[in-house]
């Protein structure tokens, strides 16, 4: 029932694009834009480790990693992840804790859990083969409109449009679309992308859009003099490059204060697994309390940011002589053994503080 509803929602999304005969803004010479961008991409494209393969698996892995993560950061992790999980079958057969451990450092761990679930669904329901349509791809966990379009176009050369941060900026400037973008505001950009994507070489064209946005059509100080499609760009021709795209007002950051409690019993410390709906679900961390309690020894401080929240965390030590049997989501571990667990980013920083504190003792 759930799969059917996901498929219906995906079909409606695709139909929104197909039903529109003319986007809110148009690109004056789409043929020239396609030809020039493809020619530029052939000589100037970025050398990225996931390119050059028609296999949808590495393309999918890279696209999931690239969500909310810089390219250079992904390049550090991609090779190691692929070495450990070289195929969708290997990923599907792995334990979730192993997947989270190899994702550690990339953040936004929900991506890893959804990718693991999608791999299991591909193996169980699609005989290990990726669906060969945007609608089919969108029926998989964690694959939305952009990721489905990227896989379909790059791995399968289907004429599927894409809209992400870089291509959104390029398309908005080319068409002179000066309304706010992001969220629901991206629908006109999707329409522009759907009208522009070529029927052949769609994958190369979509990657050209992204590379142009990353290398030339940057948010600040774009290199218009080096742009292969500058003469086709409405924003350039009307002097509005610095005002397009228009962005919504940033969300207000919420300030939070808390205490991370290192509960010690002999040479072991207590760690707890983050639960469903919590930040870093499935990863291990030190217990949290709203404030430091009397009698706790301060070890240090860590500050971190998560989804528009800035957290000031004081790290304290609490020694106990007797311990009850830990809950299923808790365990006692030595500092050294924590290296084998998938631990949250602030949790890993707390481990470093503990090591430094131990050397001072």
Give the catalytic positions in this structure: 63
As a whole number of angstroms, the distance between CA 282 and CA 343 comes to 9
Pairing of strands 288-289, 254-265: antiparallel
Max Cα separation, the chain? Answer: 76
Do 283 and 271 contact (CB within 8 A), yes or no?
A: no
255: how many CB neighbours lie within 10 A of its CB?
9
Residue with tokens 């989501």: 329
As a whole number of angstroms, the distance between CA 253 and CA 144 comes to 26
As a whole number of angstroms, the distance between CA 52 and CA 32 comes to 25
As a whole number of angstroms, the distance between CA 8 and CA 289 comes to 43
The H or E element that residue 273 is part of is strand 268-273
As a whole number of angstroms, the distance between CA 235 and CA 213 comes to 14
Q: CB under 8 Å to 236, separation ≥6 — which residues?
A: 173, 224, 227, 230
Q: Is the peptide bond before 245 cis (omega within 30 degrees of 0)?
A: yes
As a whole number of angstroms, the distance between CA 180 and CA 189 comes to 11
Q: Which of 64, 66, 55 is nearest to 114 (CA)?
A: 64
216: how many CB neighbours lie within 10 A of its CB?
19
The H or E element that residue 15 is part of is helix 2-19
2: how many CB neighbours lie within 10 A of its CB?
7
CA distance to 22, 158, 195, 320, per residue, from 133 (Å): 23, 8, 18, 57
Q: Which of 263, 250, 267 is nearest to 323 (CA)?
A: 263
Residue with tokens 């999931």: 64
């Amino acid at each position: 029932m759930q799969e059917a509803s996901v498929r219906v929602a995906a079909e409606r999304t695709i139909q929104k694009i197909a039903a529109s005969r003319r986007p809110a803004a148009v690109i004056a010479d789409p043929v020239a834009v396609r030809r020039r961008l493809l020619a530029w991409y052939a000589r100037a494209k970025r050398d990225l480790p996931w390119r050059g393969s028609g296999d949808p698996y590495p393309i999918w892995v890279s696209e999931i990693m690239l969500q909310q993560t810089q390219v250079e950061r992904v390049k550090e992790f991609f090779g190691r992840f692929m070495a450990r999980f070289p195929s969708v079958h290997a990923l599907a057969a792995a334990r979730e804790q192993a997947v989270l451990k190899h994702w550690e450092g990339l953040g936004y761990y929900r991506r890893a859990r959804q990718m693991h679930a999608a791999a299991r669904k591909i193996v169980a329901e699609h005989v290990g083969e990726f669906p060969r349509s945007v609608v089919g791809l969108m029926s998989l966990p964690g694959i939305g409109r952009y990721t489905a379009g990227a896989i379909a176009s790059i791995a399968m050369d289907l004429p599927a449009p894409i809209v992400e941060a870089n291509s959104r900026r390029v398309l908005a400037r080319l068409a002179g679309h000066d309304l706010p973008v992001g969220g629901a505001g991206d629908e006109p950009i999707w329409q522009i992308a759907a009208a522009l994507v070529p029927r052949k070489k769609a994958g190369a064209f979509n990657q050209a859009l992204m590379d142009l946005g990353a290398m030339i059509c940057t948010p600040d100080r774009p290199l218009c003099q080096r742009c292969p499609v500058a003469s086709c760009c409405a924003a350039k021709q009307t002097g509005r490059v610095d005002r397009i795209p228009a962005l919504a007002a940033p969300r207000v950051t919420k300030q939070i204060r808390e205490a991370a409690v290192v509960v010690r019993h002999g040479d072991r410390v207590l760690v707890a697994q983050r639960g469903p709906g919590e930040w870093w679900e499935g990863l291990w961390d030190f217990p949290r309390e709203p404030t430091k309690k009397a009698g706790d020894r301060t070890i240090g401080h860590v500050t971190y940011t998560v989804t528009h929240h800035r957290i000031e965390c004081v790290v304290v030590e609490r020694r106990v002589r007797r311990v009850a049997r830990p809950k299923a989501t808790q365990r006692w571990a030595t500092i050294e053994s924590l290296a084998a667990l998938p631990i949250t980013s602030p949790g890993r920083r707390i481990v470093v503080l503990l090591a430094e504190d131990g050397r001072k003792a």
